[in-house]
Amino acid sequence: MKKEKQFNLWFAVGSRQYLWLLLTSGVKNILFSYIYQEPYKSKKLLKRHKCSLFLDSVTHDMEVFIKGSPFKKYKIGKLFNELQKDNSNIIKLDNLEILSMNQQGRLVFSPATYLKRKKESKKRLIKITTIGGRDIEITKGHSLLKLGDNLKFIPVKGKDLQIGDYIIAPMFLPSNRQDIKSIKCYYSFKSRRGVYKKGKHEIDIRLTSWLLETMGLWMADGSNPYDGSVQFSCANDKKTREILEKTARQFSVNISYAKNGVDCSINSTVLVQIFQQLGFTGTSWTKRIPDWVFNLSQKQIGYFLKGYFSGDGCFSNKEVCVSSRSNQLIQDIKVLLLQLGIKFIQTTDGVKIDQWSGKKIKPCAVICIDQIKSLKIFKEKIGFIQKYKQNKLCSFLEKTITNKSRYYIQGRQYWIPLTNAMRKDSKILKQLNIGKNNTELKSRRLIDRKFLKGLPEYNHLVNNDILFLKIKKIEPVKKNKWVYDFTVPDNENFVCQNVIAHNSGAFTAWSKGNVIDIDDYIKWVKGIMKDYPYPVMCANLDVIPGRSGSKPTQEDIAESAEKGWENYLYIKSKGIDSMHIFHQGESYEWLKKMLKECKYIGISPCNDYTDKKKDEWLYQCFNIIKREGMLGKIKTHAFGMTSIELLKKYPFYSADSSAYAFTSAFGIIHSPYGKIVISEEQNNHKDYIEKKPDLIKEKLIKYIESFGFSYKLAQKDYKFR
């Protein structure tokens, strides 16, 4: 098999050069190829038509939720680092499920197939903040979800979003239904002579209500455990002292109180080790909630938050508030509140001046809960340890009031944005008791869910797990960052930073369910043929069997093969000889039919199958081509083929795979000497080209430049690669 020109998206074999352009983000579904006779022409086209599968992403410190018990919370950059096995910037995922939203607006864990990253300029990054304090950093091309005029959840790019738009966010997050009764820890201890015994000793820590409340109190008012004691600054209340004393008795240790009546310490080196192992470390600026806390039951989370709000929180001005200098801690508290179904807003307390140094102090992050329904949940599931705080909250809720606080819009998070179609719907007008010409409806932007109940077409908007949050601020990000993106084939979105983000990865056209007008497709192809007086080959439109998220039956596969063939014949009747595609799983009779009718056919192995299964299927395909006497007479194109060994084994005329787009973009090339790293950003890699012997390095540079590419530009510019 003769090697020919290599491009960003794929590498070609045969006597001509091909560039495959994607109409959607699906690799196989709508492809255009251009066939060129001379290298300079392909360069000219590359400048005019930019082609990329991986442009739009979220920044490295955004948090996602991976299925666990019930989930694990990760910064997406940290997750990538844990999963990365080599220097690749693309990771194929196995058995990893991420929290996402289905078409009915329900939160579910869906399989993710790829996780990708790249370095992005701050010029393309923006931070979007909603009323309520949820924020997310994305590239300008990355999409968030909003409600479209067709009443479906549609992706909208960050650059097209405006202040005042409503984006979709989860109403709550999943929580464990069963209590975690105990947790294992290991500790060392001293003998009576003051000598540490060898080895670590295991202990089962009972997660009692008072221990969880004590941990919450430490998170609010505790200091970093050291020197044989765990210290607190909340002993000025009788009920609080009772909680701390119960904890001391659980570990059979003493508690001592300072003269100021506020500070106290539980004296135990074992307890210090346990707190450190369980993740209770850090200062007021760096504290974070340990990961295992998110897997507690709702009741246990309530105990933990009760301690925290009792330490740093208060009830005043008709709202529960808590503040912290640690922004990460506030982010964690928001997740725990969402696990209990409590709505909140986030703000800051303004810049303060230190009374001793006179310097400005960074504002504290503040969480406020003022929506009546959420306050009731707070009272039932969390509450305060101190009686006077709890009594204030209870007496407030006993009064008959309306929800008119300074954050009134917070109460409208349960409402739904009005679309143009909804404004004209007579059923909604009747529910609202408004006439068609009433100006009141024109000025409204939201509608209460209760007015849509009983209307079947709006059921997915009423009964769901989501909120519509108004964008308050859109601002640029101040520095360059790594950005990441998942491929989630089933739902094409994932929950990130408590907002629902659309994925922009490969293979997403499978689950879009979009119907592409074949006449528009033909018109588009003819426009390309008119613009470029070179031979053009387009792919036939696939008809994907079954539905996304479910395994297709043999009946579904047979039906899609039949419809796909009808598309091919229709496109051919319009004067375009497209490339029809034979898919793994279809009857071999279709392949025999293609050999009689087509000049150029696509061979598409199943992405989910192993290389061994693909190899067995490809052997049967080329065996049939040989028996029919068409080997060497008909051109074959390998769709989505990543295995070099299979490409060498079978006589494909051409091939494509998105993996090679990613590989070249991130500075890695395939050469006669194997994979070589050419990007200057990866100069520490063992396969970096400058580390090679001078003779090999010289040959590699000549190899690169023989295809018309600049070696220096390829080293520095990922867009050029």
**Residue 580 class from Cβ within 10 Å (0-12 exposed, 13-18 middle, 19+ buried)?**
buried
| Mean pLDDT, residues 491-503 | 92
Geometric angle at alpha carbon 515, from 509 and 518, rounded to 5°: 110
SS3 content of the chain, % helix, strand, coil (to 5): 35, 25, 40
Q: Are 105 and 153 in contact (CB under 8 A)?
A: yes
- Does 517 have pLDDT greater than 70? no
Q: In sequence order, what are the beta bridge partners of 308?
A: none
* Strand-pair category, 635-638 with 600-604: parallel
| Mean pLDDT, residues 55-78 | 86
Residue 69 token pair:
């018990």
pLDDT at residue 34 in the model: 32
Query: Residue 518 contacts by C-beta under 8 Å, 6 or more apart in sequence?
Result: 541, 567, 570, 571
Q: 472-489, pLDDT tens digit by residue?
A: 999 999 899 999 999 887
Q: What percent of the chain has pLDDT over 90?
A: 39
- What letters, b where the CB count within 10 A reaches 16 and e where it falls short, cover 559-575? ebbeebbebbebbeeee
- Distance (Å, whole) CA 643 – CA 646: 5
Q: How would DSSP label each residue in 504-532?
A: --TT-HHHH-PPPPHHHHHHHHHHHHHH-
* DSSP symbol at 136: E
Angle between helices 554-573 and 588-597 (to 10 degrees): 10
| Mean pLDDT, residues 121-147 | 91
- Distance (Å, whole) CA 213 – CA 309: 10
**Residue 190 class from Cβ within 10 Å (0-12 exposed, 13-18 middle, 19+ buried)?**
exposed
pLDDT at residue 227 in the model: 72
Geometric angle at alpha carbon 82, from 79 and 86, rounded to 5°: 120
Lowest mean pLDDT among 182-196, 265-279, 434-448: 182-196
Q: Given pLDDT bands bounded at 50, 70 and 90, which one contains residue 708? A: confident
pLDDT at residue 435 in the model: 56
Measure Cα distances from 700 to 44, 81, 665, 678 in Å: 24, 30, 18, 10
> In what side-by-side order are the strands of the sheet with 654-655?
3-6, 11-13, 654-655, 635-638, 600-604, 580-583
Q: Given pLDDT bands bounded at 50, 70 and 90, which one contains residue 569? A: confident
Higher confidence at residue 516 or residue 534? 534
| Mean pLDDT, residues 124-146 | 91
| Mean pLDDT, residues 263-287 | 90
Give the CA-trace dihedral at 471, 475, 480, 482, to 10 degrees: 0
- Distance (Å, whole) CA 622 – CA 631: 8
pLDDT at residue 400 in the model: 53
| Three-state DSSP state, 59 | strand
Residue 452 token pair:
């849509």
- Does 63 have pLDDT greater than 70? yes
Q: 285-294, pLDDT tens digit by residue?
A: 899 999 999 9
3-state DSSP of 436-477? CCCHHHHHCCEECHHHHCCCHHHHHHHCCCEEEEEEEEEEEC
Q: Are 377 and 341 in contact (CB under 8 A)?
A: yes
Lowest mean pLDDT among 189-203, 421-435, 656-670: 189-203
pLDDT at residue 701 in the model: 85
Geometric angle at alpha carbon 277, from 261 and 298, rounded to 5°: 80
Predicted TM-score of the model (pTM): 0.63
pLDDT at residue 163 in the model: 95
Query: Residue 253 contacts by C-beta under 8 Å, 6 or more apart in sequence?
Result: 266, 267, 268, 270, 271
Q: How would DSSP label each residue in 618-643?
A: HHHHHHHHHHTT-TTTSEEEETT---
Give the CA-trace dihedral at 588, 590, 593, 598, to 10 degrees: -110
| Mean pLDDT, residues 662-667 | 65
Q: Given pLDDT bands bounded at 50, 70 and 90, which one contains residue 20? A: very low
* DSSP symbol at 710: -
| Closest of 304, 334, 335 to residue 322, by C-alpha | 334
- Does 18 have pLDDT greater than 60? no
Q: Given pLDDT bands bounded at 50, 70 and 90, which one contains residue 355? A: low
Q: Are 676 and 668 in contact (CB under 8 A)?
A: yes
* Mean pLDDT over the full length of the chain: 80
pLDDT at residue 683 in the model: 75
- The residue assigned the tokens 């349960």 is 414
pLDDT at residue 437 in the model: 55
Q: Which of 283-287, 348-352, 500-504 has the highest mean pLDDT?
A: 283-287
- Does 664 have pLDDT greater than 90? no
Task: Tell me the residue type at 301.
Answer: I
Residue ranges of domains in the chain, CATH in brackets: 3-53+512-660 (no CATH), 58-171+464-505 (2.170.16.10), 182-386 (3.10.28.10), 415-461 (no CATH), 666-716 (no CATH)
Q: How many CB atoms lie within 10 A of CB 284?
A: 16
- Does 322 have pLDDT greater than 80? yes
Rg (CA), the chain: 31
- Does 374 have pLDDT greater than 60? yes
| Three-state DSSP state, 496 | strand
Measure Cα distances from 143 to 136, 146, 153, 282, 311 in Å: 11, 9, 12, 36, 39
Higher confidence at residue 617 or residue 402? 617
Count the residues in the chain.
721
